[in-house]
């Protein structure tokens, strides 16, 4: 496999500083005064896992904004502990994003909902937040004593909310009985249009009239070739309506939800965050053991139920269909985030990263495509069905750093840097040409590039300057 690896070019310090400055300008432009929009055009509100990535990048130079980002998101937390996937900005005109607050009707939903908090959506996204809160604090430690005191106060405020969030996932979404959290909608995965969901979406039977007429706001700002098809969108809307109209009731999910999946990416992030929550607990003088126990359970759940020994891959488990979803996507690589992942699985994932599935031959190809390059339905530009995403690269890069720093890790760092140098802070990128797709000035691309460049500077990892 290593024969596929290419030499890693070096980046001059002046170029690195220019990239950092431009990334910071993107974040400045996308700051609303209390949080950061994912993008000014396509996503003019605050998204959940975006907020976590953004806080991680901001924390290098803007502690107060990094903390505010996470606390603004957590202001939308529901009474039952759920952290919603969108917190809506009331100053953005209705109709600028679909589905908006009226569609989700979260305030009227049930006593589980957001109470008197801001308007939110009714579904969730991968639980990156405890990990982000810990990372923000680590940057404060580097900044000195005054920053540490403020940061400990911040951790004290968010800790109970993060505990409630993880309890919600274990208690309400642990419906498969595997100590893993199930998602009820592809949007909850963060990889909305991934081929992982195709079979379940195809099998949905939508009753006539169940999906009212709606206008796709996303197509105003993006090329339809980059976005989900209308048929997929109808299914997304139908699933959201089904959950909403059941009052966002998780108690009946097993019997009722037409979509229920335990996904490796979601659960690996949760495991990584549960370890972070244990560290936060200990920083605050609390007992970290319950969070480590939760992390251990997720670890065991992933190994027992998502690892498919025949395929030597982690695969999503369809709770309703009682089957693995045999789609080879980047989700299968994410258990690298589990610091206790055994060597057998680490080796299999590293081999996969260097194989023709995820590592295209040729001088101008970029890591890591979101879907197996050899799949007949691989699509180099359509959202989550092939393009490279900076947050996915960053997660794999961090995951590999926990497991011996194999050479492909430096290549991923180089890809991230080269993609942005070539095409700017785009939402996603062509794995062959590096062309940018989706939004321009996309916040998590900027934030995670900041984090990457600073970390490389600290550790002397390649590429060096
Ligand atoms: C995309 O998802 C939203 C719906 O939540 C959309 O397509 O309208 C996904 O890439 C998701 O992971 C991301 O959090 C969101 C905002 O960046 O956009």
Domain map of the chain by residue range? 44-52+71-383
- In the structure, which protein residues have their CB atom closer than 6 angstroms to any atom of ligand 1? 38, 43, 47, 49-50, 85, 187, 190, 192, 218
Q: How far apart (Å, rounded) are the C-alpha atoms in residues 395 and 451?
A: 12
Distance, CA 190 to ligand 1 centroid (Å)? 6
Distance (angstroms) between ligand 1 centre and the Cα of 13 equals 33
CA distance 294 to 182: 15
Name the nearest CA neighbour of 173 among 52, 261, 277: 261
Distance of alpha carbon 409 from alpha carbon 333, whole angstroms: 13
Answer whether the bond into residue 203 is a cis peptide, omega within 30°. no
Q: Whose CA is nearest to atom 11 of ligand 1?
A: 190
**Quick one: pLDDT at residue 458?**
66
Cα–Cα dist 38/443, whole Å: 5
Ligand 1 pocket: which of 26, 40, 43, 88 to mutate (most atoms <8 Å of CB)? 43
**Which residue minimizes the CA distance to atom 4 of ligand 1?**
187
**Cα(380) to centroid(ligand 1), Å:** 18
If you take atom 5 of ligand 1, which residue's CA is the nearest one? 187
pLDDT of 460: 55
Whole-prediction pTM: 0.96
Which ligand 1 atom lies nearest to the CA of residue 42?
8
**Which ligand 1 atom is nearest residue 38's CA?**
17
Tell how many helices (H) and how many strands (E) occur in the chain. 18, 9
Q: Which of 48, 187, 384 to mutate to test the pocket of ligand 1 (most atoms within 8 A of CB)?
A: 187
Contacts of 110 (CB under 8 A, 6+ apart): 247, 248, 249
Question: In this structure, which residue's CA is closest to atom 17 in ligand 1?
Answer: 38
Cα separation, 5 vs 354, whole angstroms? 7
Determine the Cα–Cα distance for residues 461 and 465; give it in Å rounded to an integer. Answer: 10
Question: Taking Cα atoms as reference points, which of 130, 43, 128 lies closest to residue 87?
Answer: 43
Q: How close is the Cα of 121 to the center of ligand 1, in Å?
A: 12
Question: What architecture is domain 44-52+71-383?
Answer: Alpha/alpha barrel (1.50)
Q: How far is the CA of 192 from the centre of ligand 1 (A)?
A: 7
Distance 247 CA to ligand 1 centre (A): 23
CB under 8 Å to 237, separation ≥6 — which residues? 99, 211, 214
261 contacts 200 by C-beta, under 8 angstroms: yes
Q: Which residues are catalytic?
A: 192, 427
Tell me the best of 36, 37, 40, 47 to mutate to test the pocket of ligand 1, counting ligand atoms within 8 Å of each CB and taking the most: 47
3-state secondary structure of 210: coil
Q: Per this entry, what is the length of the chain?
A: 465
Cα separation, 262 vs 236, in Å, equals 18
Task: Please report the atom of ligand 1 found closest to the CA of residue 442.
Answer: 17
- Closest C-alpha residue for ligand 1 atom 13: 190
Atom of ligand 1 nearest to the CA of 391: 12
Q: What is the distance in A from the centroid of ligand 1 to the CA of 18? A: 28
pLDDT by 10s per residue, the chain, length 465: 444 556 566 778 888 899 999 999 999 999 999 999 999 999 999 999 999 999 999 999 999 999 999 999 999 999 999 999 999 999 999 888 999 999 999 887 666 777 778 999 999 999 999 999 999 999 999 888 889 999 999 999 999 999 999 999 999 999 999 999 999 999 999 999 999 999 999 999 999 999 999 988 888 888 888 888 899 999 999 999 999 999 999 999 999 999 999 999 999 999 999 999 999 999 999 999 999 999 999 999 999 999 999 999 999 999 999 999 999 999 999 999 999 999 999 999 999 999 999 998 877 789 999 999 999 999 999 999 999 999 999 999 999 999 998 999 999 999 999 999 999 999 999 999 999 999 999 999 999 999 999 998 766 555 434
What is the Cα–Cα distance from 82 to 106, expressed in whole angstroms? Answer: 12
With H, G, I as helix, E, B as strand and everything else as coil, classify residue 86: strand
Neighbours of 383 (CB within 10 A): 23
Q: For residues 167 and 304, is the Cβ–Cβ distance under 8 A? A: no
Pocket test for ligand 1, best of 35, 192, 224, 438 (most atoms within 8 A of CB): 192
Return the exposure string of 247-284: e unless at least 16 CB atoms fall within 10 Å of the residue's CB, then b.
bbebeebeeebbbbbbbbbbbbbbbbbbbbbbbbbebe
Q: Are 62 and 447 in contact (CB under 8 A)?
A: no
**Residue 128 is encoded by which pair of tokens?**
């990156």
Beta strands per DSSP E along 41-83: 46-47
């Amino acid at each position: 496999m290593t024969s596929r690896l290419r030499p890693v070019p070096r980046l001059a310090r002046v170029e690195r500083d220019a990239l950092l400055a431009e990334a910071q300008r993107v974040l400045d432009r996308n700051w609303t005064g209390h949080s950061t929009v994912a993008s000014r055009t396509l996503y003019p509100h605050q998204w959940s896992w975006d907020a976590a990535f953004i806080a991680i990048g901001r924390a290098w130079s803007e502690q107060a904004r990094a903390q505010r980002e996470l606390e603004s998101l957590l202001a939308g937390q529901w009474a039952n502990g759920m952290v919603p996937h969108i917190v809506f900005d009331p100053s953005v005109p209705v109709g600028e994003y679909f589905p908006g607050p009226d569609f989700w009707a979260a305030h009227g939903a049930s006593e589980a909902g957001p109470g008197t908090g801001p308007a939110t959506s009714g579904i969730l996204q991968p639980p990156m937040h405890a990990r982000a809160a810990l990372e923000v604090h680590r940057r404060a430690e580097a900044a000195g004593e005054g920053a540490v005191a403020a940061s400990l106060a911040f951790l004290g405020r968010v800790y109970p909310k993060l505990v409630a969030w993880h309890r919600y996932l274990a208690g309400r979404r642990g419906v498969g009985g595997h100590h893993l959290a199930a998602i009820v909608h592809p949007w909850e995965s963060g990889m909305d249009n991934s081929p992982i969901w195709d079979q379940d979406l195809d099998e949905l039977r939508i009753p006539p009239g169940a999906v009212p007429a709606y206008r796709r706001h996303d197509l105003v700002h993006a090329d339809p070739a980059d976005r989900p098809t209308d048929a997929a969108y109808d299914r997304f809307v139908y699933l959201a309506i089904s959950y909403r109209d059941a009052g966002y009731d998780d108690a009946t999910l097993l019997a009722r939800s037409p979509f229920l999946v335990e996904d490796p990416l979601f659960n690996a992030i949760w495991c990584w965050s549960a370890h972070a929550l244990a560290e936060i607990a200990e920083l605050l003088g609390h007992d970290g053991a319950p969070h480590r126990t939760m992390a251990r359970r997720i670890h065991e759940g992933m190994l027992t139920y998502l690892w498919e020994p025949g395929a030597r891959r982690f695969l999503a488990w369809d709770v309703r269909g009682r089957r693995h979803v045999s789609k080879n996507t980047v989700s299968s690589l994410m258990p690298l985030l589990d610091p206790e992942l055994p060597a057998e699985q680490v080796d299999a994932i590293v081999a996969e990263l260097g194989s023709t599935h995820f590592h295209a031959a040729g001088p101008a190809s970029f890591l890591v495509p979101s879907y197996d390059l050899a799949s007949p339905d691989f699509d180099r530009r359509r959202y989550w069905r092939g393009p490279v995403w900076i947050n996915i690269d960053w997660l794999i890069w961090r995951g590999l750093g926990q497991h011996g720093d194999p050479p492909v890790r430096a290549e991923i760092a180089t890809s991230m840097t080269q993609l942005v140098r070539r095409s700017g802070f785009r939402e996603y990128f062509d794995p062959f040409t590096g062309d940018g797709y989706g939004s321009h000035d996309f916040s998590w691309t900027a934030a995670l590039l900041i984090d990457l460049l600073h970390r490389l500077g600290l550790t002397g990892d390649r590429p060096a300057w």
